[in-house]
Amino acid sequence: MKNYYFDEKKRMVIEDYDKAKTFSSFLPGVAGIKGVPMWTFYVNRGQGISSFGVRDKHSPIMEFSPANIAYKNVSTTGFRTFIKLNDRKMVYEPFQPTLNKKIKRKMYIEANQISIEEVNEELGLSTVIEYFNMPEESFAGLVRKVQIRNLTKKQLNIEVLDGMPEVLPYGVENQLYKEMGNLLRSWMEVYNLNNKIPYYHVRASIGDEAEVNEVKEGHFFLTFSNDEKIISPIVDTEIIFGSDHSLLNPENFVKKPLEDLVEKLQVTANKVPCAFTPIQKSIGEEEAIEIFSIIGHVSNIDLINNRVNDLVNVDYINQKQLLANRLIRQLTDKINTKTGSEMFDEYARQSYLDNFLRGGYPYLLDNKKDGFVYHLFSRKHGDQERDYNFFSIAPEYFSQGNGNFRDMNQNRRNDIYFEPAVGSFNTKMFMSLIQADGYNPLLVKGCSFEIAANQQAQLKELIKEHVQSHQEQIINLLDSKFTPGQLINYIANENVQLTIDDQAFLTDILSISQQNIEAGFGEGFWVDHWTYNLDLVESYLDVYPDHFVDFMFKDKSYKYFDSPAYVLPRSEKFVLSKGNVRQFGSVIEDKEKMSKLGIAINDTNWLRIENGSGEVYHTTLFVKLLSLSLMKFVTLDPLGIGVEMEANKPGWNDAMNGLPGLIGSGISETFELRRIVEFLLTTTEEYKNNQVDVPVEYAELLEGTSGLVDQYFKGNVDDFHYWDQVASMRESFREKIRFGINGEESRLSLSELKGVYKNFLNKIDLGIKRAEELGEGLYPTYLSYEVNEFDVLENNLSQYGLPKVKIYGFSNPTVLPYFLEGPARALKAISDQDKAKTIYQKVKKSDLFDKNIKMYKTSVSLDNESFEIGRIKAFTPGWLERESVFLHMSYKYLLEVLKSGLYDEYFNDIQTSLIPFLDPETYGRSTLENSSFIASSVNPDPSVHGRGFIARLSGSTAEFLSMWKMMMIGKKTFHISEGQLVLTLSPNLPSWMFDESGRASFTFLGDTKVTYYNTERKNTYGTDKVEVKSFNLKYKDGSSKKIESSIVVNEDAKAIRNGEIKEIDIELC
């Protein structure tokens, strides 16, 4: 029997998990809309859970460690269970490393729960442990259920100690504990033992600062057995371990009866405490000892003390466990899919879950109007394998977290297909975050709210009418920016008395509030972040094509983010380094701007008129796309092939961090620029009578650039001088808008813009043609430029500390080895299917395709490259971004293969490339869960080939959801034909994805069940295919309607989009 399999409960089961390939993963940290989340990581060693806590790594309950260290330490510092069988006079510890073949272990992985089991045949004991996060409660908590069962036919007298050998009191920061743990003991104390619920926190803030604050928040440990009597835990480690400070052996427990240990005086200060449940019981055949523990965090321990009768209840724990699992199932019902592949169906659920864990779950907050779109449950993808990322999950109701621009942007691409009420929110958010210079902030924070300036009187009336206590505190809370969770949690924690329920009160408050996008500069400007914005535009128009005019031209609420960071001109960043011209120190924090405008580097700042001193500037989506495309067009490299990496950062492949210094450029971004330019060109053709108002600064840059392009095509200016002049115009533009814009606008007609953008497109296509020639038929991804003519400016050092240079010419660009991103982005921009097939065939024949594991790699060999290109060169081949199967890029490529109409090729490739179809024995973890990368066959360690590393949260989920959409719905969802709204459901499914009865179903727009009936079980593509013949609409009011057509039009299409239809049956033939 295989060691990895799925059981009848759809759980991933790993036999002898502690001897299987190591991996780390996590519970989703979703506690419900009115629940407080907790982050929880686990590994397949020891008792599983390896770290957990609240908010971020600064507040661990169990110390956070990178995965490689967690694998080593979890059996010591993770949860432990000591069992003393009195008749044997020995202590047995289940789940510890062993070579005993009579001990069998299993791990069970579910979407919101993990369990482990050990059967010890020699002792006749089985131990089962289950973990889940507490849902829909006013506190964050990890629930641990332990069951120790007697498998013998005799009575067993058992003493048990179960719990944690170390609890880090609240207030102890993780990094400080690793570096100064001995000192930090001085602040530690355990309180509330008189109530049998230890409360762990430091006495006061530990920073070396003038302001010192008393700490009252804390972690708690509540435990009881199946007799529902609270048990007083042992918190003094020495009572159990004695002199064994390694915590390997419970020295005192081995030597003394449990009852003696329980009676000992516990020292609760000046040491790292523990949390162990002591229990002694005699159990007969098939009887069990059960222990229920809640380890959590609260702002005040009285919140737990006052609820002991509720919490110390077996049924309460069991109901919460059912709720935890039901909660995730309900959230993922929006993608409920049933095909001929159950693995694919469950993988779709898991991918949807992991996608919104990074991008956020779109939820509509009631504000008595259209509602506020609010993304719940999101967080930056940080975990024990991604130890380099700092994650944050707000420990409050309506929880949301931090993220990066690129990540959140991509992971929200498909929101509208699951929650149409999202509307234009994501487009507006990420287009508004685009700056006037074409770059964007890295940090995207959760949205905030504030009372509208003209609603202060209404606020006072609401509080007077509905708040019976804490009125002043509520007013103070709402006096600045707030989140729904902060308000509701305060009401719950402080027992604020209201005349209406808290949800109704929140609705009233939101009805007089405005929603704020929050972001911050972070670090540097990546060359690719803007490339994901058009995807949001296209997704919106795929569902709401009839709203095009309002969407593009009438909604004038788009803004420009304004980072107090500045991209330096070439004169300040081209320097001489070790005899070569390099581009270093390209971005600076503009201290003069921060001082003049009174802003901070990571605050949310918006572009203002009157050169920064006036009102925030607002415009339309069309103008935002126009300005973005213009800025990227004037940033094309010296041969017009790639978009320059002129701002310190590379593109999607962060590990190419040295390429900006080598005057590098990205061809992937050129293909994305082409898409925007083509989109705008098509718009100017269809709406040629329209006019748009643009800031005069853009109008001047557009006019200058257009004139220069004309001169270029007339042969009056060569490549270098075109580049030099357009770069000078770009730099002059940046200097003009450094503090803001003047506020004047120029009116441009779309008929005039049509000619300009046609020329722009021709210039871009010339660069793409050159790229194809340089790549010898296969598009490269990266170029770098060597300067061959320059002057060193004597006694003139850049802010980076190196001599400045003036450039007069470049040699031919260096083409870096093939990367998969270039062809993937090319397929996205190419509509010619024959051309797409040629690209596909070239990729398949190249070393981008790993012929051993039959997957697509990020790149071919980099052995001959310099270390200057970035850390990617220093990585081991077949690992991380270097020549591995980076799932996000592999999936991005496969998606474009599918969208190009190469169906046979796509469905053949996914058999070896899509995670649910892999062998888990090789993959080394659940094949319902993505990993960041799969080690390829060029890795020097054969044992890792085909194995997945770094759990789950990546852009791969967004790419899969787009594949799912293409497979289940088709390329085009809604469109306008002859003035009518038309819905087209045109699946791209092979015969084997229909079940035995010829059915395949999915959830459309998050609410409507669609079932395809394919009685012949044929492909829906190719020569011998089946197509849509008819629709049977089943309305929610009980009526139905049969439509004998391959499309649905007008009011019926709108009814489906509005969620009025419960089910749609579609006949294929």
User: What secondary structure does DSSP assign to 931-945, as a single string?
Assistant: EEEE--TTSS-GGGT
The CB density around residue 735, as the number of other CB atoms within 10 Å, is: 11
Written as one letter, the residue type at 317 is I
Write the DSSP string, 147-183: EEEE-SSS-EEEEEEEEES----BT--HHHHHHHHHH
Alpha-carbon distance 316 to 135, whole Å? 12
The CB density around residue 777, as the number of other CB atoms within 10 Å, is: 9
- How many CA atoms within 13 Å lie on the side-chain side of 1011? 13
User: Which CATH number describes the domain made up of 4-329?
Assistant: 2.70.98.40
Angle (CA) 573 577 580, round 5°: 100
Write the DSSP string, 400-452: -B-EEHHHHHHHTTTHHHH-GGGTTHHHHHHHHTSBTTS---SEEEEEEEEE-
- What's the confidence (pLDDT) of residue 381? 84
Structure tokens given for 189: 């104390």
801: left (phi over 0), alpha (psi -120 to 50) or beta: left
pLDDT averaged per 10 residues, the chain (length 1069):
89 97 98 97 98 96 97 98 85 96 97 98 97 98 98 95 98 94 96 98 94 96 98 98 96 95 97 98 96 98 97 98 98 99 98 97 97 96 88 93 95 98 98 99 97 96 96 96 96 95 97 98 95 99 98 99 97 97 98 96 97 98 99 99 98 98 99 99 97 99 99 98 99 98 98 98 99 97 98 94 97 98 98 97 98 98 98 98 98 99 98 98 98 98 98 96 99 97 98 98 99 98 97 97 98 98 98
Q: Which of 762, 828, 888 is nearest to 538 (CA)?
A: 828
Angle between helix 821-829 and helix 667-686 axes, rounded to 10 deg: 10
- What's the confidence (pLDDT) of residue 90? 84
675-686 burial, b for 16+ CB within 10 Å, e for fewer? bbbbbbbebbee
The CB density around residue 203, as the number of other CB atoms within 10 Å, is: 16
- Quickly list H helices, 574-654: 591-597, 621-633
Written as one letter, the residue type at 2 is K
Residue 313: alpha-carbon gap to chain centroid: 36
Q: Are strands 1061-1068 and 1008-1013 parallel, antiparallel or unpaired?
A: parallel
- What's the confidence (pLDDT) of residue 482? 97
Written as one letter, the residue type at 420 is P
Residue given tokens 């006949």 in the structure block:
1067
- How many CA atoms within 13 Å lie on the side-chain side of 990? 13
Angle (CA) 480 501 459, round 5°: 35
Contact (Cβ atoms closer than 8 angstroms) between residue 953 and residue 383 = yes
Write the DSSP string, 60-90: EEE----HHHHHHHHHHHS-EEEEEETTTTE
Alpha-carbon distance 61 to 960, whole Å? 35
The CB density around residue 301, as the number of other CB atoms within 10 Å, is: 21
Alpha-carbon distance 135 to 321, whole Å? 8
Residues 924, 408, 872, 764: is their CA dihedral positive or negative?
positive
Residue 1036: alpha-carbon gap to chain centroid: 35
375-385 burial, b for 16+ CB within 10 Å, e for fewer? bbbbbbbbbbb
Structure tokens given for 400: 């949301």
- What's the confidence (pLDDT) of residue 881? 96
Contact (Cβ atoms closer than 8 angstroms) between residue 86 and residue 157 = yes
Alpha-carbon distance 413 to 537, whole Å? 9
Alpha-carbon distance 382 to 54, whole Å? 14
Q: Residue 15: beta bridge partners?
A: 106
Q: Are strands 403-404 and 443-451 parallel, antiparallel or unpaired?
A: antiparallel
Contact (Cβ atoms closer than 8 angstroms) between residue 897 and residue 881 = no
Contact (Cβ atoms closer than 8 angstroms) between residue 333 and residue 346 = no
Reduced to 3 states, what is the DSSP secondary structure of residue 763?
helix
Q: Which of 647, 497, 476 is nearest to 569 (CA)?
A: 647
Structure tokens given for 264: 């000992």
**CATH 2.70.98.40 in the chain, residue ranges:** 4-329
Integer Rg of the chain from CA:
31
Structure tokens given for 139: 């506190």
- What's the confidence (pLDDT) of residue 388? 86
Structure tokens given for 59: 């507040």
Q: Which of 927, 946, 930 is nearest to 938 (CA)?
A: 946
Alpha-carbon distance 33 to 376, whole Å? 8
Q: Are strands 140-150 and 125-133 parallel, antiparallel or unpaired?
A: antiparallel
Q: Residue 39: beta bridge partners?
A: 53
Q: Which of 16, 26, 19 is nearest to 50 (CA)?
A: 26
Beta strand segments in 153-263, E: 156-164, 188-191, 199-202, 218-225
Alpha-carbon distance 659 to 664, whole Å? 5
Q: Which of 660, 650, 521 is nearest to 589 (CA)?
A: 521
- The length of the chain is 1069
